[in-house]
């Protein structure tokens, strides 16, 4: 089942104003996009402080720290392990883009991998390089196999560096103001990247590039370029996952299909509070994480459902920074983590990086059942005629709200209540018939039931009798219903016989407490009708203290009522289920003896019957009636005796 667990702290952030301001902290904290569900290392570039590496297990700990100047803002950060053959220790390269006033630079540090907490490579570096670039670096990506660093600048330049930060290639994507860059790999392993940049007049440019994978290939080839009208990136939260781009703007999510960036659908999120601080991140196929102030939601955007949500009471605002995206299509791969930043309550806000464990579920309907967030369009609840042109159509529409109001007014008087109920709804009998099918609003029926149980205590109106026969009797009122009606034998029986959705637990409870034979029979039949053997046994077992003697006495008592005799086989079925579940040894000696005696008696009756049957059959056979007793066909067809041959007549 999808779930979001309580976040735990990775580290507290330094008390720098910009880092504790919810509006900017997202941009001032750059997390390398290497997060996977099993990762132990997290790399964060904290503006004005340091580029740090943490491990999560066994306990969150800082394992590497490279301080940076307090005026420096980290605009992008990327990390990758380098495959080297010469040295024993594996190395990794950390690169980050820095902005210091109007000076932009790219830094790269090669250092040993520190995977465990005991690693003491703290601060040890093999090489550090720095190069200045022409504009702010929006995105960084390291490709260890081609030994290249790809930096995308706000000006639209895509620049390829080697690990010594020598510029290898530069490509102009021709649109300035790049604000979103995403690298992804296709199933065949081919690398792609796409850029989104704002253009004047509420337009956005989308450009898809293929990234060359060998030194000889062209480093980047433009595959497609789309201009999208009426779109603005500034007020949108965008992410990419599994071939789709999700864009949150206002309280709507638009989904676009790559590679052509076609709009596929837009989903309204009615539960989002206006003016709240929102972050929106990918997590799994068709699923996304969304935070709104201190609430975090796991959304299924295929089914439009809130799979899970959590409110973090101890913080004021929680924002997501990076998530580990997983396919999440089976129970084996549905656990993942997300990294976020939280701001505590208080006048002097303090922030910290937090990690949340998330179970994304399997993305199936099973997870989303009944959790939909789409507000219901105000559809008519009336039973509409199928074909309006046919002249014999009947239809009835009720103003349920008004009827309910009238009913609540009349709720102090049983007669008034009944007259309003039956007259207003056009119900002719005090039981459900097919002509009452137009009263089909489940909410209304629920409201009426609530009203009845609230207003009437000692005596109930006839409307309740009617409702108990209605197949749409609200499920919510079936709980404890039998207990409530215990003092009204008629209603009690009515409920047992016709009320849908009675709980097995309650029925079993009543079965063992009711002394009335008639009710006992009804209860038995009802239980056998609605439930299967396994669940009946289970329910009886769960009843800790029950007296089955009463029931056994009822079954084995001599009674020649027609109903009883007709239903005897069924009662025996239930008896055997009861005995199975309580166990024979739970019975007292006396009862056991009684039971044995009864069974013996029944057996002798059966024996006798078999003998009689044989006699009769023999008699019939002698008389030449070949027809078996069971055959009562009176069709007058000539019966062909077995194995006779009809002669061919001439």
Partner 1 sequence: MGQSVVHQKYKLSVVSGGKLVLPRASNRSCCNKSVTLLTRDETCVVVPFNNQIKVYSLETSQCVKTLKFANNAVLSRLFLGADAASICDLALGDLTLAEGGTADGAHSDDTFDFSVITSVGDVVVLNYKGKLADEPKVIQLGTLQPNEQVVKLFRFGGRVSVLTSEAETSATYTYRIYSYDNSERKLSERKRFEHVLLSAWSSNDKFLCLLAKGQNSKKVLYLEDIHDQIDSKTLPLPSIASASASSNAHFATVMALDHQGSQLAVGYASGVINVINLTDQSTRLLKWHIDSVLSLCFTSDGTYLLSGGWEKVLSFWQLSTNLQQFLPRLNGVVVDCNILHDKFYSLGLQFADNQSNSDYQLLLLNSTDLKSRIAISGPLCVFQTAVRDVVYPVSAVSSKASASSADLQKANKKQQRKLLKRRRQDFSSVFEIQPSTKHLYFPHTSAVQIFDFYKNEQIHYQYLASGLNNSMGKVRSELNLKDPVIADVKFTKDGNWMISYEVEYPPEGLLSSNDFSHVLKFWRMSASGEWELQTKVLSPHGLKTPITSILVAPRSVNNSLGCLTSDNNGGLKYWSFDEVLNNWALSKVAVPSVNHFSNSVELAWSLDGSLIFHAFDDKVTVIEFAAFKKFYEDSAKALNEFTMDSAIQSIMLVNDSNLIVATQTSLNSINLLLGVVESSFDLYPFVNGVYKNGHASRLISCDEKNGRVALVVNHKTLDAEGRPTLNYASHVLVFNSDLSQKLGAFEHDEYISCIRWNFDTDFIFLDTKNRLGVVSTTTSPEMLDEVDKEGALDQLASNEFEIELQKLTRAQKAQGLEPETDEKEEALLDFINGDKSGKLINMNSFTSMFENIENVQMDTLFDRVMKVIT
Site for partner 1 in 471-490 (CB under 8 A): 471-472, 475, 479
Which residue among 83, 257, 429, 602 contacts partner 1 (CB under 8 A)? Answer: 257
Q: Which of residues 189-208 bind partner 1 (CB under 8 A)?
A: 190, 192, 208
Q: Please tell me whether residue 536 binds partner 1 under the rule CB under 8 A.
A: yes
CB atoms within 10 A of CB 254: 17
| Sole window of 164-172, 237-245, 419-427, 458-466 interacting with partner 1 (rule: CB under 8 A) | 237-245
Cβ proximity to partner 1, 515 vs 650, nearer residue:
650
Q: Which of residues 425-444 bind partner 1 (CB under 8 A)?
A: 434, 437-438, 440, 442
260 secondary structure, DSSP code: T
User: Which DSSP helix (H) or strand (E) runs through 423?
Assistant: helix 414-424
Tell me the C-alpha distance between 277 and 25, whole Å: 12
Q: Please tell me whether residue 226 binds partner 1 under the rule CB under 8 A.
A: no
Count of residues touching partner 1 (by CB under 8 A): 95
Q: Determine whether 66 is exposed, middle or buried from the number of CB atoms within 10 Å of its CB (0-12, 13-18, 19+).
A: middle
Cβ proximity to partner 1, 390 vs 515, nearer residue:
390
CB of 223 to partner 1, least distance (A): 5
CB of 470 to partner 1, least distance (A): 8
Cβ proximity to partner 1, 515 vs 648, nearer residue:
648
Using DSSP, state whether 538 is helix, strand or coil: helix
Tell me the C-alpha distance between 582 and 591, whole Å: 14
Cβ proximity to partner 1, 17 vs 648, nearer residue:
648
Q: Which of residues 382-421 bind partner 1 (CB under 8 A)?
A: 382-387, 390, 392-395
CB of 148 to partner 1, least distance (A): 20
Which residue among 118, 532, 544, 623 contacts partner 1 (CB under 8 A)? Answer: 532
Which residue among 117, 277, 302, 451 contacts partner 1 (CB under 8 A)? Answer: 302
Cβ proximity to partner 1, 187 vs 558, nearer residue:
187
Cβ proximity to partner 1, 475 vs 612, nearer residue:
475
Which residue among 88, 102, 234, 366 contacts partner 1 (CB under 8 A)? Answer: 366
| Sole window of 31-39, 199-207, 261-269, 275-283 interacting with partner 1 (rule: CB under 8 A) | 261-269
| Sole window of 113-121, 126-134, 217-225, 352-360 interacting with partner 1 (rule: CB under 8 A) | 217-225
Nearest to 253 by CA among 221, 218, 229, 286: 286
Asked if residues 171 and 158 have their Cβ atoms less than 8 Å apart, the reply is yes
Tell me the C-alpha distance between 108 and 447, whole Å: 67
Nearest to 444 by CA among 425, 460, 416: 425
Tokens of 258: 């790559």
Which residue among 243, 250, 426, 489 contacts partner 1 (CB under 8 A)? Answer: 243
Q: Which of residues 304-323 bind partner 1 (CB under 8 A)?
A: 304-305
CB of 17 to partner 1, least distance (A): 41
Tokens of 184: 């992804």
Tell me the C-alpha distance between 521 and 511, whole Å: 9
Distance of CA 298 to the CA centre of its chain: 9
Which residue among 235, 583, 630, 634 contacts partner 1 (CB under 8 A)? Answer: 630
Tell me the C-alpha distance between 318 and 514, whole Å: 56
Q: Please tell me whether residue 229 binds partner 1 under the rule CB under 8 A.
A: no
CB atoms within 10 A of CB 180: 22
Tell me the C-alpha distance between 521 and 518, whole Å: 5
CB of 402 to partner 1, least distance (A): 21
Rg from Cα positions in the chain = 38
Q: Rounded to 5 degrees, what are φ and ψ at 61?
A: -155, 145
| Sole window of 134-142, 198-206, 400-408, 642-650 interacting with partner 1 (rule: CB under 8 A) | 642-650
Which residue among 171, 211, 258, 269 contacts partner 1 (CB under 8 A)? Answer: 258
Distance of CA 127 to the CA centre of its chain: 49
CB of 2 to partner 1, least distance (A): 12
Cβ proximity to partner 1, 81 vs 530, nearer residue:
530
Cβ proximity to partner 1, 16 vs 302, nearer residue:
302
Q: Please tell me whether residue 364 binds partner 1 under the rule CB under 8 A.
A: yes
Tell me the C-alpha distance between 317 and 349, whole Å: 11
CB of 186 to partner 1, least distance (A): 6
CB of 331 to partner 1, least distance (A): 8
Tell me the C-alpha distance between 439 and 331, whole Å: 43
CB of 499 to partner 1, least distance (A): 10
Cβ proximity to partner 1, 300 vs 418, nearer residue:
300
What residues contact 643, with CB distance under 8 A and at least 6 apart? none
CB of 397 to partner 1, least distance (A): 12
Q: Which of residues 545-604 bind partner 1 (CB under 8 A)?
A: 570, 573
In the sheet that 137-143 helps form, which strands lie side by side, from edge to edge? 137-143, 148-153, 157-161, 167-172
Tokens of 595: 């039971």
Q: How many CA atoms lie within 13 A of 472 on its CB side?
A: 16
CB of 500 to partner 1, least distance (A): 5
Asked if residues 148 and 108 have their Cβ atoms less than 8 Å apart, the reply is no
Nearest to 198 by CA among 222, 169, 176, 220: 176
CB of 107 to partner 1, least distance (A): 33
Asked if residues 248 and 228 have their Cβ atoms less than 8 Å apart, the reply is no
CB of 115 to partner 1, least distance (A): 33
């Amino acid at each position: 089942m999808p779930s979001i667990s309580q976040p735990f702290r990775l580290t507290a952030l330094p008390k720098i104003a910009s880092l504790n301001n919810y509006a900017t902290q997202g941009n001032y904290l750059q997390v390398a996009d290497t997060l996977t569900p099993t990762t132990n290392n997290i790399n964060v570039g904290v503006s004005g402080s340091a580029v740090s590496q943490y491990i999560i297990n066994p306990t969150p700990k800082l394992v590497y720290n490279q301080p940076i100047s307090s005026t420096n803002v980290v605009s992008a950060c990327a990390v990758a392990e380098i495959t080297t053959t010469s040295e024993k220790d594996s190395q990794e390269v950390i690169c980050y883009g820095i902005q210091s006033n109007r000076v932009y630079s790219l830094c790269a540090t090669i250092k040993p991998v520190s995977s465990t907490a005991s690693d003491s490579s703290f601060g040890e570096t093999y090489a550090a390089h720095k190069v200045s670039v022409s504009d702010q670096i929006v995105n960084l990506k390291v490709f260890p196999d081609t030994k290249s660093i790809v930096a995308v600048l706000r000006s639209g330049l895509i620049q390829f560096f080697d690990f010594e930060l020598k510029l290898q290639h530069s490509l102009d994507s021709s649109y300035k103001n790049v604000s979103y860059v995403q690298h992804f790999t296709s199933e065949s392993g081919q690398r792609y990247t796409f850029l989104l940049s704002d253009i004047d007049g509420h337009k956005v440019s989308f450009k898809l590039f293929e990234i060359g994978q060998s030194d000889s290939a062209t480093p980047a080839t433009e595959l497609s370029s789309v201009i999208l009208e009426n779109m603005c990136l500034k007020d949108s939260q965008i992410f990419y996952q599994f071939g789709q781009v999700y864009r949150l703007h206002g309280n709507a999510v638009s989904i676009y299909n790559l590679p052509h960036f076609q709009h596929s659908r837009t989903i309204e999120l009615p539960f989002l509070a206006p003016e709240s601080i929102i972050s929106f991140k990918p997590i799994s196929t068709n699923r996304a994480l969304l935070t709104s102030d201190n609430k975090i939601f796991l959304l299924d955007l295929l089914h439009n459902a809130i799979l899970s949500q959590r409110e973090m009471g101890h913080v004021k605002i929680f924002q997501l920074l990076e998530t580990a995206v997983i396919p999440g299509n089976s129970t084996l791969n549905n656990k993942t983590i997300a990294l976020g930043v939280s701001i505590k309550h208080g006048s002097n806000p303090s922030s910290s990086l937090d990690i949340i464990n998330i179970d994304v579920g399997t993305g199936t309907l099973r997870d989303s059942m009944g959790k939909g967030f789409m507000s219901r369009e105000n559809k008519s609840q009336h039973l509409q005629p199928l074909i309006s042109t046919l002249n014999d159509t009947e239809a009835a529409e009720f103003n349920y709200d008004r009827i309910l109001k009238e009913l609540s007014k009349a709720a102090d008087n049983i007669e008034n209540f009944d007259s309003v109920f039956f007259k207003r709804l056009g119900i002719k009998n005090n039981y459900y018939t097919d002509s009452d099918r137009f009263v089909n609003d489940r909410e209304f029926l629920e409201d009426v039931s609530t009203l009845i149980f609230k207003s009437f205590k000692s005596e109930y109106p006839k409307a309740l009798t009617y409702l108990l026969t209605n197949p749409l009797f609200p499920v919510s009122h079936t709980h404890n219903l039998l207990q409530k009606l215990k003092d009204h034998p008629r209603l009690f029986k009515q409920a047992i016989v016709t009320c849908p959705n009675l709980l097995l637990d309650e029925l079993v409870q009543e079965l063992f407490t009711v002394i009335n034979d008639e009710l006992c029979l009804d209860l038995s039949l009802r239980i056998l009708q609605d439930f299967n053997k396994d669940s009946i046994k289970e329910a009886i077992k769960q009843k800790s203290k029950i007296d089955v003697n009463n029931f056994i006495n009822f079954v084995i008592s001599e009674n020649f009522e027609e109903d009883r005799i007709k239903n005897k086989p069924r009662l025996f079925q239930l008896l055997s289920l009861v005995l199975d579940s309580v166990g024979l040894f739970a019975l007292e000696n006396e009862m056991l003896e009684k039971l044995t005696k009864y069974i013996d008696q029944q057996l002798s009756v059966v024996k006798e019957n078999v003998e009689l049957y044989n006699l009769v059959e023999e008699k019939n056979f002698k008389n030449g009636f070949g027809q078996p007793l069971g055959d009562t066909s009176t069709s007058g067809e000539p019966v062909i005796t077995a194995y006779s041959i009809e002669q061919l007549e001439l």
